Structure 1
Protein backbone atom coordinates (compact mmCIF):
# COMPACT_ATOMS: atom_id res chain seq x y z
CA UNK A 1 0.00 0.00 0.00
CA UNK A 2 2.78 2.45 0.86
CA UNK A 3 4.48 1.73 -2.48
CA UNK A 4 1.25 2.25 -4.42
CA UNK A 5 0.62 5.57 -2.67
CA UNK A 6 4.17 6.66 -3.48
CA UNK A 7 3.71 5.69 -7.14
CA UNK A 8 0.43 7.64 -7.32
CA UNK A 9 2.00 10.72 -5.74
CA UNK A 10 5.02 10.74 -8.09
CA UNK A 11 2.81 10.19 -11.15
CA UNK A 12 0.47 13.03 -10.15
CA UNK A 13 3.14 15.55 -9.11
CA UNK A 14 5.73 14.49 -11.74
CA UNK A 15 8.43 15.02 -9.13
CA UNK A 16 10.24 12.78 -6.67
CA UNK A 17 11.03 15.78 -4.46
CA UNK A 18 7.43 17.04 -4.25
CA UNK A 19 6.15 13.50 -3.66
CA UNK A 20 8.63 13.13 -0.79
CA UNK A 21 7.37 16.36 0.78
CA UNK A 22 3.73 15.31 0.41
CA UNK A 23 4.34 11.87 1.92
CA UNK A 24 6.79 13.08 4.62
CA UNK A 25 9.53 10.81 3.25
CA UNK A 26 13.04 11.40 2.03
CA UNK A 27 13.69 11.59 -1.69
CA UNK A 28 15.86 8.50 -1.30
CA UNK A 29 12.96 6.56 0.24
CA UNK A 30 10.67 7.58 -2.63
CA UNK A 31 13.27 6.48 -5.18
CA UNK A 32 13.70 3.16 -3.37
CA UNK A 33 9.94 2.48 -3.43
CA UNK A 34 9.65 3.33 -7.13
CA UNK A 35 12.56 1.00 -7.93
CA UNK A 36 10.86 -1.71 -5.89
CA UNK A 37 7.57 -1.44 -7.80
CA UNK A 38 9.39 -1.33 -11.15
CA UNK A 39 11.29 -4.46 -10.15
CA UNK A 40 8.06 -6.15 -9.09
CA UNK A 41 6.38 -5.51 -12.46
CA UNK A 42 9.59 -5.99 -14.45
CA UNK A 43 9.22 -2.77 -16.44
CA UNK A 44 10.04 0.91 -16.28
CA UNK A 45 7.17 3.07 -15.06
CA UNK A 46 8.85 6.50 -15.31
CA UNK A 47 11.16 8.29 -17.71
CA UNK A 48 13.41 10.48 -15.59
CA UNK A 49 15.17 13.67 -16.66
CA UNK A 50 16.76 16.58 -14.81
CA UNK A 51 13.61 18.69 -15.14
CA UNK A 52 10.74 16.24 -15.28
CA UNK A 53 9.44 12.80 -14.39
CA UNK A 54 7.09 11.36 -17.01
CA UNK A 55 5.11 8.14 -17.05
CA UNK A 56 5.87 5.44 -19.58
CA UNK A 57 3.02 3.64 -21.35
CA UNK A 58 3.17 0.94 -18.67
CA UNK A 59 3.17 3.63 -15.99
CA UNK A 60 0.06 5.27 -17.45
CA UNK A 61 -1.77 1.95 -17.42
CA UNK A 62 -0.84 1.29 -13.82
CA UNK A 63 -1.67 4.86 -12.75
CA UNK A 64 -5.28 4.56 -13.95
CA UNK A 65 -5.79 1.39 -11.95
CA UNK A 66 -4.03 2.65 -8.81
CA UNK A 67 -5.92 5.97 -8.78
CA UNK A 68 -9.27 4.21 -9.09
CA UNK A 69 -8.30 1.69 -6.43
CA UNK A 70 -7.15 4.31 -3.89
CA UNK A 71 -10.23 6.48 -4.51
CA UNK A 72 -12.52 3.50 -4.02
CA UNK A 73 -10.67 2.37 -0.90
CA UNK A 74 -10.94 5.85 0.64
CA UNK A 75 -14.65 6.04 -0.17
CA UNK A 76 -15.36 2.65 1.40
CA UNK A 77 -13.32 3.60 4.46
CA UNK A 78 -15.27 6.83 4.91
CA UNK A 79 -18.54 4.94 4.58
CA UNK A 80 -17.56 2.34 7.16
CA UNK A 81 -16.29 4.96 9.59
CA UNK A 82 -19.49 6.99 9.35
CA UNK A 83 -21.44 3.91 10.38
CA UNK A 84 -19.63 3.92 13.75
CA UNK A 85 -20.83 7.15 15.35
CA UNK A 86 -19.13 6.43 18.67
CA UNK A 87 -15.74 5.49 17.19
CA UNK A 88 -12.80 7.84 17.84
CA UNK A 89 -9.11 7.34 17.12
CA UNK A 90 -6.12 9.57 17.89
CA UNK A 91 -2.42 9.49 17.04
CA UNK A 92 0.02 11.53 19.14
CA UNK A 93 3.73 11.62 20.10
CA UNK A 94 4.57 9.39 23.09
CA UNK A 95 6.01 12.30 25.11
CA UNK A 96 2.83 14.36 24.63
CA UNK A 97 0.67 11.37 25.52
CA UNK A 98 2.49 10.46 28.72
CA UNK A 99 3.28 13.96 30.01
CA UNK A 100 0.17 15.94 29.07
CA UNK A 101 -2.68 13.96 27.54
CA UNK A 102 -3.01 11.00 29.91
CA UNK A 103 -3.49 13.09 33.08
CA UNK A 104 -6.37 14.91 31.34
CA UNK A 105 -7.93 12.26 29.10
CA UNK A 106 -10.03 10.80 31.91
CA UNK A 107 -12.04 14.04 31.96
CA UNK A 108 -13.20 13.46 28.38
CA UNK A 109 -13.73 9.70 28.66
CA UNK A 110 -15.60 10.12 31.94
CA UNK A 111 -18.15 12.43 30.35
CA UNK A 112 -18.37 10.34 27.15
CA UNK A 113 -18.43 6.73 28.41
CA UNK A 114 -19.96 5.38 25.18
CA UNK A 115 -17.07 6.53 22.97
CA UNK A 116 -15.03 3.66 21.51
CA UNK A 117 -11.65 5.37 21.93
CA UNK A 118 -8.37 4.19 20.42
CA UNK A 119 -5.05 5.92 21.13
CA UNK A 120 -1.88 5.34 19.12
CA UNK A 121 1.27 6.81 20.68
CA UNK A 122 3.84 7.15 17.90
CA UNK A 123 6.25 9.64 16.33
CA UNK A 124 5.37 8.29 12.87
CA UNK A 125 3.50 10.68 10.55
CA UNK A 126 0.83 8.17 9.65
CA UNK A 127 -1.61 8.45 6.75
CA UNK A 128 -4.80 9.44 8.58
CA UNK A 129 -7.19 8.30 5.85
CA UNK A 130 -5.46 5.03 5.03
CA UNK A 131 -5.04 4.09 8.70
CA UNK A 132 -8.55 5.34 9.56
CA UNK A 133 -7.37 7.73 12.25
CA UNK A 134 -9.64 10.67 13.04
CA UNK A 135 -7.14 13.04 14.65
CA UNK A 136 -3.41 13.43 15.14
CA UNK A 137 -1.45 15.67 17.46
CA UNK A 138 1.64 16.85 15.61
CA UNK A 139 4.53 19.13 16.43
CA UNK A 140 5.79 21.44 13.73
CA UNK A 141 5.01 24.59 11.76
CA UNK A 142 1.39 23.74 10.96
CA UNK A 143 2.03 22.79 7.33
CA UNK A 144 0.99 19.26 6.40
CA UNK A 145 -0.27 19.21 2.80
CA UNK A 146 -3.80 17.91 2.38
CA UNK A 147 -4.64 18.14 6.10
CA UNK A 148 -6.49 20.67 8.23
CA UNK A 149 -4.58 22.06 11.23
CA UNK A 150 -5.61 23.94 14.35
CA UNK A 151 -2.97 25.28 16.73
CA UNK A 152 -3.16 23.99 20.29
CA UNK A 153 -0.04 25.19 22.10
CA UNK A 154 3.14 27.18 21.61
CA UNK A 155 6.13 26.05 23.63
CA UNK A 156 9.06 27.46 25.61
CA UNK A 157 12.19 25.64 26.80
CA UNK A 158 14.01 26.24 30.10
CA UNK A 159 16.17 24.25 32.58
CA UNK A 160 14.46 22.13 35.23
CA UNK A 161 15.61 19.71 37.93
CA UNK A 162 14.29 17.96 41.00
CA UNK A 163 14.51 19.76 44.37
CA UNK A 164 16.93 17.08 45.59
CA UNK A 165 19.23 17.62 42.60
CA UNK A 166 19.27 21.40 43.14
CA UNK A 167 20.15 20.94 46.79
CA UNK A 168 22.82 18.31 46.16
CA UNK A 169 24.57 20.31 43.42
CA UNK A 170 24.08 23.70 45.11
CA UNK A 171 22.30 25.18 42.11
CA UNK A 172 20.66 28.56 42.70
CA UNK A 173 20.54 30.01 39.18
CA UNK A 174 21.67 29.64 35.58
CA UNK A 175 25.27 30.47 36.44
CA UNK A 176 25.38 27.33 38.59
CA UNK A 177 24.28 24.89 35.85
CA UNK A 178 27.85 23.69 35.49
CA UNK A 179 27.65 22.24 39.01
CA UNK A 180 25.22 19.53 37.88
CA UNK A 181 24.88 16.84 35.23
CA UNK A 182 23.23 18.23 32.09
CA UNK A 183 20.87 15.59 30.74
CA UNK A 184 20.37 15.57 26.97
CA UNK A 185 17.81 14.51 24.36
CA UNK A 186 17.45 14.92 20.59
CA UNK A 187 15.06 17.88 20.72
CA UNK A 188 17.32 20.82 21.61
CA UNK A 189 20.98 20.71 22.56
CA UNK A 190 22.37 22.56 25.55
CA UNK A 191 25.01 24.43 23.54
CA UNK A 192 22.30 26.00 21.36
CA UNK A 193 20.19 27.01 24.34
CA UNK A 194 23.11 28.39 26.36
CA UNK A 195 24.52 30.20 23.34
CA UNK A 196 21.21 31.89 22.58
CA UNK A 197 20.80 33.18 26.13
CA UNK A 198 24.49 34.20 26.29
CA UNK A 199 25.43 32.11 29.31
CA UNK A 200 29.21 31.52 28.97
CA UNK A 201 29.85 30.04 32.42
CA UNK A 202 28.73 26.50 31.59
CA UNK A 203 30.95 23.98 29.86
CA UNK A 204 29.73 21.63 27.15
CA UNK A 205 27.01 19.20 28.28
CA UNK A 206 28.19 15.62 28.61
CA UNK A 207 25.39 13.89 30.52
CA UNK A 208 23.32 10.89 29.38
CA UNK A 209 21.31 11.17 26.14
CA UNK A 210 17.66 10.07 26.05
CA UNK A 211 15.81 9.43 22.80
CA UNK A 212 12.46 10.62 24.12
CA UNK A 213 11.54 13.79 26.00
CA UNK A 214 9.39 11.93 28.51
CA UNK A 215 12.33 9.69 29.45
CA UNK A 216 14.54 12.75 29.82
CA UNK A 217 12.07 14.32 32.26
CA UNK A 218 11.68 11.07 34.21
CA UNK A 219 15.45 11.05 34.68
CA UNK A 220 15.33 14.65 35.89
CA UNK A 221 12.51 13.86 38.33
CA UNK A 222 14.59 10.97 39.68
CA UNK A 223 17.37 13.43 40.54
CA UNK A 224 19.79 12.27 37.86
CA UNK A 225 20.52 15.74 36.54
CA UNK A 226 19.24 18.91 34.88
CA UNK A 227 17.04 18.80 31.79
CA UNK A 228 15.89 21.34 29.24
CA UNK A 229 12.18 21.19 29.95
CA UNK A 230 9.57 21.83 27.28
CA UNK A 231 6.92 24.01 28.94
CA UNK A 232 3.92 21.85 28.00
CA UNK A 233 5.57 18.62 29.08
CA UNK A 234 6.76 19.92 32.47
CA UNK A 235 3.57 21.79 33.35
CA UNK A 236 2.24 19.17 35.76
CA UNK A 237 5.65 18.35 37.27
CA UNK A 238 6.22 22.01 38.10
CA UNK A 239 2.75 22.34 39.62
CA UNK A 240 3.30 19.35 41.90
CA UNK A 241 6.90 20.22 42.80
CA UNK A 242 8.48 17.15 41.19
CA UNK A 243 10.55 19.56 39.13
CA UNK A 244 11.69 23.11 39.77
CA UNK A 245 12.50 25.70 37.15
CA UNK A 246 16.04 27.12 37.21
CA UNK A 247 16.25 30.84 36.51
CA UNK A 248 13.73 32.92 34.59
CA UNK A 249 15.19 32.72 31.08
CA UNK A 250 13.43 30.68 28.43
CA UNK A 251 13.47 30.33 24.66
CA UNK A 252 10.48 29.90 22.40
CA UNK A 253 10.77 26.86 20.15
CA UNK A 254 10.34 27.02 16.39
CA UNK A 255 7.35 24.67 16.42
CA UNK A 256 3.97 24.34 18.06
CA UNK A 257 1.48 21.56 18.77
CA UNK A 258 -1.41 21.20 16.33
CA UNK A 259 -4.59 19.18 16.07
CA UNK A 260 -4.47 17.67 12.59
CA UNK A 261 -7.24 15.93 10.65
CA UNK A 262 -8.43 15.18 7.14
CA UNK A 263 -11.19 17.06 5.36
CA UNK A 264 -12.90 13.67 5.03
CA UNK A 265 -12.91 12.98 8.78
CA UNK A 266 -16.55 12.16 9.58
CA UNK A 267 -18.36 14.69 11.73
CA UNK A 268 -19.70 12.12 14.16
CA UNK A 269 -20.75 13.07 17.69
CA UNK A 270 -17.62 11.40 19.12
CA UNK A 271 -15.32 13.28 16.75
CA UNK A 272 -16.98 16.65 17.29
CA UNK A 273 -17.08 16.20 21.07
CA UNK A 274 -13.39 15.34 21.30
CA UNK A 275 -12.33 18.27 19.12
CA UNK A 276 -14.41 20.70 21.18
CA UNK A 277 -13.05 19.27 24.44
CA UNK A 278 -9.41 19.40 23.35
CA UNK A 279 -9.65 22.95 22.03
CA UNK A 280 -11.28 24.09 25.28
CA UNK A 281 -8.60 22.44 27.43
CA UNK A 282 -5.88 24.04 25.29
CA UNK A 283 -7.27 27.49 26.11
CA UNK A 284 -7.22 26.98 29.89
Structure 2
Protein backbone atom coordinates (compact mmCIF):
# COMPACT_ATOMS: atom_id res chain seq x y z
CA UNK A 1 0.00 0.00 0.00
CA UNK A 2 3.00 2.31 0.32
CA UNK A 3 3.63 2.18 -3.43
CA UNK A 4 0.06 2.15 -4.74
CA UNK A 5 -2.31 5.11 -4.42
CA UNK A 6 -5.77 4.36 -3.04
CA UNK A 7 -7.41 6.50 -5.74
CA UNK A 8 -5.83 4.29 -8.38
CA UNK A 9 -7.22 1.15 -6.80
CA UNK A 10 -10.64 2.82 -6.58
CA UNK A 11 -10.46 3.61 -10.31
CA UNK A 12 -9.56 0.00 -11.15
CA UNK A 13 -12.31 -1.42 -8.94
CA UNK A 14 -15.04 0.94 -10.17
CA UNK A 15 -14.16 0.40 -13.84
CA UNK A 16 -14.00 -3.37 -13.46
CA UNK A 17 -17.31 -3.49 -11.55
CA UNK A 18 -19.23 -1.06 -13.74
CA UNK A 19 -17.71 -2.12 -17.05
CA UNK A 20 -16.77 1.28 -18.48
CA UNK A 21 -14.62 4.34 -17.85
CA UNK A 22 -17.64 6.60 -18.24
CA UNK A 23 -19.66 4.84 -15.54
CA UNK A 24 -16.66 4.77 -13.21
CA UNK A 25 -16.04 8.49 -13.77
CA UNK A 26 -19.67 9.32 -12.93
CA UNK A 27 -19.55 7.28 -9.71
CA UNK A 28 -16.22 8.72 -8.60
CA UNK A 29 -17.09 12.28 -9.58
CA UNK A 30 -14.07 12.80 -11.85
CA UNK A 31 -13.40 12.94 -15.59
CA UNK A 32 -13.02 9.90 -17.82
CA UNK A 33 -9.43 10.99 -18.50
CA UNK A 34 -8.66 11.07 -14.78
CA UNK A 35 -9.95 7.52 -14.33
CA UNK A 36 -7.92 6.31 -17.30
CA UNK A 37 -4.76 7.94 -15.95
CA UNK A 38 -5.30 6.44 -12.49
CA UNK A 39 -5.67 2.97 -14.00
CA UNK A 40 -2.51 3.37 -16.10
CA UNK A 41 -0.56 4.60 -13.08
CA UNK A 42 -1.76 1.67 -10.94
CA UNK A 43 -0.86 -0.83 -13.67
CA UNK A 44 2.62 0.67 -13.80
CA UNK A 45 3.00 0.60 -10.02
CA UNK A 46 2.00 -3.07 -9.81
CA UNK A 47 3.61 -4.08 -13.11
CA UNK A 48 0.38 -5.74 -14.22
CA UNK A 49 -2.14 -5.03 -16.97
CA UNK A 50 -5.70 -5.21 -15.67
CA UNK A 51 -7.62 -4.17 -18.79
CA UNK A 52 -7.31 -4.91 -22.49
CA UNK A 53 -8.08 -1.79 -24.50
CA UNK A 54 -9.95 -2.55 -27.69
CA UNK A 55 -12.49 -1.00 -30.06
CA UNK A 56 -15.37 -2.12 -27.82
CA UNK A 57 -13.90 -0.65 -24.65
CA UNK A 58 -12.13 -2.20 -21.68
CA UNK A 59 -12.09 -5.93 -20.95
CA UNK A 60 -10.56 -7.43 -17.81
CA UNK A 61 -7.40 -9.43 -18.33
CA UNK A 62 -6.78 -12.62 -16.31
CA UNK A 63 -4.79 -10.48 -13.86
CA UNK A 64 -7.73 -8.08 -13.58
CA UNK A 65 -10.24 -10.88 -13.08
CA UNK A 66 -8.08 -12.30 -10.30
CA UNK A 67 -7.74 -8.92 -8.60
CA UNK A 68 -11.37 -7.74 -8.80
CA UNK A 69 -13.03 -9.95 -6.12
CA UNK A 70 -10.36 -9.09 -3.55
CA UNK A 71 -10.40 -5.43 -4.46
CA UNK A 72 -14.19 -5.22 -4.27
CA UNK A 73 -14.19 -7.06 -0.94
CA UNK A 74 -11.61 -4.65 0.42
CA UNK A 75 -13.61 -1.56 -0.52
CA UNK A 76 -16.80 -3.13 0.85
CA UNK A 77 -15.04 -3.60 4.20
CA UNK A 78 -13.83 0.00 4.13
CA UNK A 79 -17.38 1.20 3.40
CA UNK A 80 -18.74 -0.80 6.32
CA UNK A 81 -16.00 0.46 8.64
CA UNK A 82 -16.76 4.08 7.76
CA UNK A 83 -20.52 3.56 8.15
CA UNK A 84 -20.16 1.89 11.54
CA UNK A 85 -17.84 4.67 12.74
CA UNK A 86 -20.44 7.35 12.05
CA UNK A 87 -22.61 8.42 14.94
CA UNK A 88 -26.14 8.29 13.59
CA UNK A 89 -28.28 11.03 15.04
CA UNK A 90 -31.80 9.62 15.04
CA UNK A 91 -33.22 13.14 15.06
CA UNK A 92 -31.78 13.68 11.58
CA UNK A 93 -33.52 11.87 8.72
CA UNK A 94 -31.78 11.56 5.36
CA UNK A 95 -34.13 10.87 2.45
CA UNK A 96 -33.12 9.91 -1.09
CA UNK A 97 -35.65 10.91 -3.75
CA UNK A 98 -35.71 11.77 -7.44
CA UNK A 99 -35.29 15.52 -8.03
CA UNK A 100 -38.65 15.88 -9.81
CA UNK A 101 -40.51 14.16 -6.95
CA UNK A 102 -38.71 16.34 -4.41
CA UNK A 103 -39.46 19.58 -6.25
CA UNK A 104 -43.01 18.90 -7.43
CA UNK A 105 -44.46 16.97 -4.50
CA UNK A 106 -42.33 16.47 -1.39
CA UNK A 107 -40.73 19.84 -0.62
CA UNK A 108 -44.00 21.87 -0.69
CA UNK A 109 -45.36 19.58 2.05
CA UNK A 110 -42.40 19.56 4.42
CA UNK A 111 -43.73 22.49 6.43
CA UNK A 112 -46.60 20.27 7.58
CA UNK A 113 -44.12 17.61 8.67
CA UNK A 114 -42.14 20.23 10.58
CA UNK A 115 -45.27 21.39 12.42
CA UNK A 116 -46.00 17.92 13.79
CA UNK A 117 -42.34 16.85 14.22
CA UNK A 118 -40.41 20.03 15.12
CA UNK A 119 -37.59 18.00 16.71
CA UNK A 120 -36.72 16.16 13.48
CA UNK A 121 -34.36 17.65 10.91
CA UNK A 122 -34.64 16.45 7.30
CA UNK A 123 -31.83 16.12 4.78
CA UNK A 124 -33.00 15.64 1.19
CA UNK A 125 -30.65 13.84 -1.21
CA UNK A 126 -32.25 14.63 -4.58
CA UNK A 127 -30.79 12.16 -7.07
CA UNK A 128 -31.89 9.58 -9.60
CA UNK A 129 -29.29 7.14 -8.31
CA UNK A 130 -30.29 4.60 -5.68
CA UNK A 131 -27.91 4.98 -2.75
CA UNK A 132 -26.32 2.01 -1.02
CA UNK A 133 -28.64 1.84 1.97
CA UNK A 134 -26.30 -0.49 3.84
CA UNK A 135 -23.26 1.76 3.88
CA UNK A 136 -24.49 5.32 3.24
CA UNK A 137 -26.19 7.71 5.65
CA UNK A 138 -29.46 7.53 3.70
CA UNK A 139 -32.26 6.30 5.97
CA UNK A 140 -35.04 5.88 3.42
CA UNK A 141 -35.59 6.26 -0.29
CA UNK A 142 -38.66 6.91 -2.40
CA UNK A 143 -38.30 5.47 -5.87
CA UNK A 144 -40.40 4.90 -8.98
CA UNK A 145 -40.19 1.54 -10.70
CA UNK A 146 -41.58 -1.97 -10.75
CA UNK A 147 -40.55 -2.61 -7.14
CA UNK A 148 -37.77 -4.98 -8.12
CA UNK A 149 -34.70 -3.86 -6.17
CA UNK A 150 -32.98 -6.99 -4.82
CA UNK A 151 -31.55 -6.80 -1.34
CA UNK A 152 -33.81 -3.97 -0.17
CA UNK A 153 -37.00 -3.77 1.86
CA UNK A 154 -39.72 -2.59 -0.53
CA UNK A 155 -43.08 -1.07 0.46
CA UNK A 156 -45.59 0.08 -2.18
CA UNK A 157 -46.79 3.66 -1.80
CA UNK A 158 -48.75 4.62 -4.94
CA UNK A 159 -49.49 2.85 -8.24
CA UNK A 160 -48.44 5.16 -11.05
CA UNK A 161 -51.04 6.21 -13.60
CA UNK A 162 -50.59 8.58 -16.55
CA UNK A 163 -53.07 10.98 -18.12
CA UNK A 164 -53.03 14.16 -20.24
CA UNK A 165 -52.79 17.55 -18.55
CA UNK A 166 -52.87 21.01 -20.07
CA UNK A 167 -53.67 24.63 -19.37
CA UNK A 168 -57.37 25.36 -18.63
CA UNK A 169 -57.82 27.24 -21.92
CA UNK A 170 -56.70 24.21 -23.92
CA UNK A 171 -58.79 21.83 -21.81
CA UNK A 172 -61.94 23.76 -22.74
CA UNK A 173 -61.40 22.86 -26.41
CA UNK A 174 -61.22 19.11 -25.75
CA UNK A 175 -64.51 17.21 -25.79
CA UNK A 176 -63.42 13.62 -26.50
CA UNK A 177 -60.08 11.78 -26.41
CA UNK A 178 -59.55 11.97 -30.19
CA UNK A 179 -59.53 15.78 -29.95
CA UNK A 180 -56.17 15.61 -28.21
CA UNK A 181 -54.52 14.44 -31.44
CA UNK A 182 -54.86 17.98 -32.78
CA UNK A 183 -52.94 19.48 -29.86
CA UNK A 184 -49.21 19.96 -29.70
CA UNK A 185 -47.57 17.59 -27.22
CA UNK A 186 -44.89 18.51 -24.71
CA UNK A 187 -42.62 15.47 -24.54
CA UNK A 188 -40.42 14.27 -21.68
CA UNK A 189 -37.48 12.72 -23.54
CA UNK A 190 -36.47 10.64 -20.52
CA UNK A 191 -39.91 9.26 -19.76
CA UNK A 192 -40.24 5.51 -19.22
CA UNK A 193 -43.47 5.40 -21.21
CA UNK A 194 -44.94 7.03 -24.32
CA UNK A 195 -48.28 8.54 -25.30
CA UNK A 196 -49.24 5.13 -26.65
CA UNK A 197 -49.72 4.00 -23.03
CA UNK A 198 -52.70 6.35 -22.66
CA UNK A 199 -53.91 6.36 -26.25
CA UNK A 200 -54.24 2.57 -26.18
CA UNK A 201 -56.39 2.80 -23.05
CA UNK A 202 -58.88 5.13 -24.78
CA UNK A 203 -59.03 3.07 -27.97
CA UNK A 204 -56.63 5.18 -30.04
CA UNK A 205 -53.73 2.75 -30.24
CA UNK A 206 -51.31 3.61 -33.02
CA UNK A 207 -52.40 7.25 -33.27
CA UNK A 208 -49.61 9.82 -33.30
CA UNK A 209 -49.39 13.00 -31.26
CA UNK A 210 -48.09 16.20 -32.80
CA UNK A 211 -44.83 16.94 -31.03
CA UNK A 212 -44.41 20.60 -30.13
CA UNK A 213 -41.57 20.69 -27.59
CA UNK A 214 -39.16 18.09 -26.19
CA UNK A 215 -37.45 18.50 -22.82
CA UNK A 216 -35.08 16.26 -20.89
CA UNK A 217 -36.74 17.05 -17.55
CA UNK A 218 -40.33 16.23 -16.60
CA UNK A 219 -40.47 19.33 -14.43
CA UNK A 220 -39.81 21.53 -17.47
CA UNK A 221 -42.62 19.76 -19.31
CA UNK A 222 -45.03 20.64 -16.52
CA UNK A 223 -43.94 24.29 -16.65
CA UNK A 224 -44.48 24.32 -20.42
CA UNK A 225 -47.95 22.78 -20.03
CA UNK A 226 -48.88 25.35 -17.38
CA UNK A 227 -47.73 28.08 -19.78
CA UNK A 228 -50.16 26.78 -22.41
CA UNK A 229 -47.49 25.39 -24.72
CA UNK A 230 -49.13 21.99 -25.20
CA UNK A 231 -50.46 18.87 -23.53
CA UNK A 232 -48.30 16.61 -21.40
CA UNK A 233 -48.66 12.99 -20.36
CA UNK A 234 -48.20 13.34 -16.60
CA UNK A 235 -48.65 11.27 -13.44
CA UNK A 236 -50.24 11.98 -10.08
CA UNK A 237 -47.34 13.28 -7.98
CA UNK A 238 -45.88 15.30 -10.85
CA UNK A 239 -49.00 17.23 -11.83
CA UNK A 240 -51.03 16.90 -8.63
CA UNK A 241 -50.42 20.29 -7.06
CA UNK A 242 -50.93 22.18 -10.33
CA UNK A 243 -54.23 20.31 -10.79
CA UNK A 244 -55.34 21.05 -7.23
CA UNK A 245 -54.48 24.74 -7.65
CA UNK A 246 -56.21 24.98 -11.05
CA UNK A 247 -53.08 25.86 -13.02
CA UNK A 248 -53.54 22.63 -14.99
CA UNK A 249 -56.59 20.63 -16.00
CA UNK A 250 -56.97 16.93 -16.76
CA UNK A 251 -59.50 17.10 -19.61
CA UNK A 252 -60.39 13.40 -19.37
CA UNK A 253 -60.90 11.22 -16.33
CA UNK A 254 -59.32 8.18 -17.98
CA UNK A 255 -55.96 7.23 -16.50
CA UNK A 256 -53.66 4.52 -17.81
CA UNK A 257 -51.80 2.15 -15.54
CA UNK A 258 -48.09 1.98 -16.29
CA UNK A 259 -47.03 -1.06 -14.25
CA UNK A 260 -44.79 1.28 -12.26
CA UNK A 261 -45.32 2.69 -8.82
CA UNK A 262 -43.85 4.79 -6.03
CA UNK A 263 -42.15 2.72 -3.33
CA UNK A 264 -40.43 3.21 -0.02
CA UNK A 265 -37.02 1.50 -0.05
CA UNK A 266 -35.04 0.83 3.14
CA UNK A 267 -32.25 -1.41 4.33
CA UNK A 268 -33.44 -4.88 5.41
CA UNK A 269 -30.72 -5.08 8.06
CA UNK A 270 -31.32 -1.76 9.83
CA UNK A 271 -34.01 -1.48 12.45
CA UNK A 272 -36.76 0.98 11.61
CA UNK A 273 -36.39 4.02 13.83
CA UNK A 274 -39.30 6.04 15.15
CA UNK A 275 -38.16 8.87 12.88
CA UNK A 276 -38.38 6.71 9.74
CA UNK A 277 -41.78 5.39 10.83
CA UNK A 278 -43.04 8.94 11.41
CA UNK A 279 -41.88 10.08 7.98
CA UNK A 280 -43.47 7.10 6.24
CA UNK A 281 -46.78 7.71 8.00
CA UNK A 282 -46.63 11.40 7.04
CA UNK A 283 -45.97 10.63 3.36
CA UNK A 284 -48.77 8.06 3.23
CA UNK A 285 -51.21 10.57 4.76
CA UNK A 286 -50.14 13.28 2.31
CA UNK A 287 -50.44 10.93 -0.67
CA UNK A 288 -53.98 10.00 0.37
CA UNK A 289 -54.87 13.66 0.91
CA UNK A 290 -53.54 14.81 -2.46
CA UNK A 291 -55.12 11.88 -4.35
CA UNK A 292 -58.51 12.72 -2.83
CA UNK A 293 -58.11 16.32 -3.96
CA UNK A 294 -57.11 15.26 -7.47
CA UNK A 295 -60.01 12.81 -7.72
CA UNK A 296 -62.54 15.48 -6.73
CA UNK A 297 -64.68 17.41 -9.24
CA UNK A 298 -62.65 18.70 -12.16
Fold match by TM threshold 0.5: yes
Contact 1:181 1:226 in 2 (8 A): yes
1:75 to 81, 93, 108: 81
1:100 to 78, 101, 105: 105
Equivalent residue number for residue 176 of structure 1: 179
Structure-1-length-normalised TM-score: 0.75
Query: Secondary structure of the equivalent of 1:157?
Result: strand
Q: CA RMSD in A?
A: 3.8
Q: Distance in 2 between matches of 1:55 and 1:132?
A: 36
| Residues 1:251 and 1:224: Cα distance change in structure 2 (over 3 Å) | same
Equivalent residue number for residue 160 of structure 1: 165
| Residues 1:145 and 1:174: Cα distance change in structure 2 (over 3 Å) | same
> How far is the alpha carbon of 1:217 from its aligned partner?
1.5
Contact 1:193 1:251 in 2 (8 A): yes
> How far is the alpha carbon of 1:259 from its aligned partner?
1.1
1:103-252 map, 5 Å: 103-167=108-172, 170-186=173-189, 187=191, 188-195=193-200, 197-199=202-204, 203-252=208-257
Q: Which stretch of the first structure deviates more once superposed, 190-199 or 152-161? A: 190-199
> How far is the alpha carbon of 1:75 from its aligned partner?
3.5
1:271 and 2:276 are equivalent in the alignment = yes
Q: Distance in 1 between matches of 2:10 and 2:259?
A: 30
> How far is the alpha carbon of 1:208 from its aligned partner?
0.3
1:92-112 Cα offsets, whole Å, 9 max, x none, are 112211222123222212222
| Residues 1:195 and 1:205: Cα distance change in structure 2 (over 3 Å) | farther
> How far is the alpha carbon of 1:113 from its aligned partner?
1.9
Structure 1 portions without partners, runs of 5+ = 11-15, 48-52
Equivalent residue number for residue 40 of structure 2: 39
1:23-57 Cα offsets, whole Å, 9 max, x none, are xx889847x9998775342124589xxxxx89649
Contact 1:158 1:246 in 2 (8 A): no
> How far is the alpha carbon of 1:140 from its aligned partner?
0.8
Structure-2-length-normalised TM-score: 0.72
Larger RCO of the pair (alpha carbons < 8 Å, separation 6+): 1
Contact 2:196 2:206 in 1 (8 A): no
